[in-house]
Amino acid sequence: MSKILCVLYDDPVSGYPTLYPRDGIPDIKTYPGGQTLPTPEAIDFKPGQLLGSVSGELGLRNYLESHGHQLVVTSDKDGPNSRLERELPDTDIIISQPFWPAYLTEERFAKAPKLKLAITAGIGSDHVDLQAAIKHGVTVAEVSYSNSISVSEHVVMMILSLVRNYIPSYQWVVNGGWNIADCVTRSYDLEGMNVGTVAAGRIGLAVLRRLKPFDVKLHYTDRHRLSPDIEKELQLTFHPNVESMVKVCDVVTINCPLHPETEHMFDDALIAKMKRGAYIVNTARGKICDKDAIARALKSGQLAGYAGDVWFPQPAPKDHPWRTMPYHGMTPHVSGTSLSAQARYAAGTREILECWFAGKPIREEYLIVDGGHLAGTGAHSYSTGNATKGWEEATRFSAAA
Ligand code: NDP
């Protein structure tokens, strides 16, 4: 029997939904490139339901309890007296989500001697101190591809929202106005602009593909180059480093994982190398940008806009500068947790658990750390180290709530 601790975001303030705007979600057969969707033996939820919040329980309770396991679900994750901290000593498996991350630090690993598996229900395991996971022999796995397309759609939405000044224009309407000049003095067409992505992995490439029909000039930088066929098809310009790419771009979208190599990549120095009036859309991880440098650049006019859904830490404290800086289009961390994405990452989490309990290998593409080293996707896209430093700030949100 195992104890599984599942840390999920809170239910809606209006209560767990009983009715949804739509009756289901489309049936997707495979991901681009051919990777199959999660293949658990069964699921105990209806795709399209809210699964990522506490009452949704990722649809896991029946499955786990019918196999004799104990499931504890909580959103109380920050601070020394949190439920998470209290449950750690006898937890075998922890499941968390990037949207409401249970930061797994060296200290927390030390408090969890039985912990053997940390699952990210979603993509991005930077909330886990990977160095500590390696040291403590904990396997880290995530549900690769489950929400990559969801995020790429969000990126395109945010690029268009910033460049066309959508959010302030909407606000004029809500406020009863008809202020066309106020709306359009910051509004441009995307057509003809240079748009570049930092990383062309699953999300970055999907963003490039979706932007192609907008007749923009596409750029990318990555540690590994895409195939000549893809470069030709999308008429991509490859840049060997981020500096050379940002110099020529009007819009930069960030789609690389957060790891020691990418932490604070967008600082004052790099932003100064961008075109004046460039836009940044960052749905990758908040800490890839220096938060104060971004706020400064928006105030000075070096950046014309910044949007994204990722912050550091999460939840962001009420006085986080990105809540109030000018010309931003921030949302809470939602792009990868649409109802459509939830069905996939909940099924993927179950697949990982089924493999684990059956002693079968977890898919390579789901692995980040295994057997005391970076493995699978982790070995390809991450570097060893720890990107969780400063996570304690998250307690300030709960304390102020
Ligand atoms: P992938 O692993 O498919 O792609 C990541 C890409 O980043 C790889 O091509 C990798 O290069 C590249 N990369 C890594 N380090 C660097 C670097 N220093 N400079 C340039 N490129 C680099 O991941 P996904 O596209 O699926 O996801 C990317 C990230 O997006 C996740 O790690 C996560 O942080 C974030 N995300 C956010 C979500 C949200 O809800 N907002 C949801 C899902 C993901 P290579 O492998 O070639 O070495």
For 254-311, how does the pLDDT look when each residue is reduced to its tens digit (9 = 90+)?
999 998 889 999 999 999 999 999 999 999 999 999 999 999 999 999 999 999 999 9
Q: Whose CA is nearest to atom 20 of ligand 1?
A: 222
Res. 398: pLDDT tops 60: yes
Task: Choose the CATH number for 3-146+337-389 among 3.40.50.720, 3.40.50.1950, 3.20.20.60, 1.10.8.80.
Answer: 3.40.50.720
Helix (H, G, I), strand (E, B) or coil at 294: helix
Q: Which CATH architecture best describes the domain 148-330?
A: 3-Layer(aba) Sandwich (3.40)
Neighbouring-strand partners of residue 225: none
- Burial class from Cβ neighbours inside 10 Å (0-12, 13-18, 19+) for residue 128 reads buried
Question: Is there a cis peptide before residue 315, judged by omega within 30 degrees of 0?
Answer: yes
Res. 129: pLDDT tops 70: yes
Give the separation between CA 184 and CA 240, rounded to whole angstroms.
36
Give the separation between CA 9 and CA 400, rounded to whole angstroms.
17
Question: Using 50, 70 and 90 to split pLDDT, how confident is the model at 394?
Answer: confident
For 336-368, how does the pLDDT look when each residue is reduced to its tens digit (9 = 90+)?
999 999 999 999 999 999 999 999 999 999 999
Whose tokens are 């598996």? That residue is 117
Q: What is the pLDDT of residue 396?
A: 78
Q: Which residues line ligand 1 (CB under 6 A)?
A: 122-124, 147-148, 151, 198-204, 221-224, 255-258, 261-262, 283-285, 309-310, 333, 335-336, 377, 380-381
Give the separation between CA 389 and CA 395, rounded to whole angstroms.
14
Phi, psi of 352 (to 5 degrees): -60, -45
Give the separation between CA 206 and CA 320, rounded to whole angstroms.
30
Task: Give distance in angstroms: CA of 282 to centre of ligand 1.
Answer: 11
Q: What are the C-alpha distances in Å from 51 to residues 6, 92, 333?
A: 12, 22, 16
Helix (H, G, I), strand (E, B) or coil at 32: coil
Q: Do domains 3-146+337-389 and 148-330 have the same CATH topology?
A: yes
The residues assigned a catalytic role are 147, 285, 314, 333
Q: Are 369 and 378 in contact (CB under 8 A)?
A: yes
Task: Give distance in angstroms: CA of 154 to centre of ligand 1.
Answer: 15
What are the domain boundaries of the chain? Answer: 3-146+337-389, 148-330
Pairing state between β 217-221 and 194-198: parallel
Which residues contact residue 177 at a Cβ distance below 8 angstroms, ignoring those fewer than 6 apart?
none
**What is the DSSP secondary structure assignment for residue 330, as one 8-state letter?**
E
pTM across the whole model = 0.95
Question: Is there a cis peptide before residue 47, judged by omega within 30 degrees of 0?
Answer: no
Task: Give distance in angstroms: CA of 381 to centre of ligand 1.
Answer: 7
* 381 marked as binding residue: yes
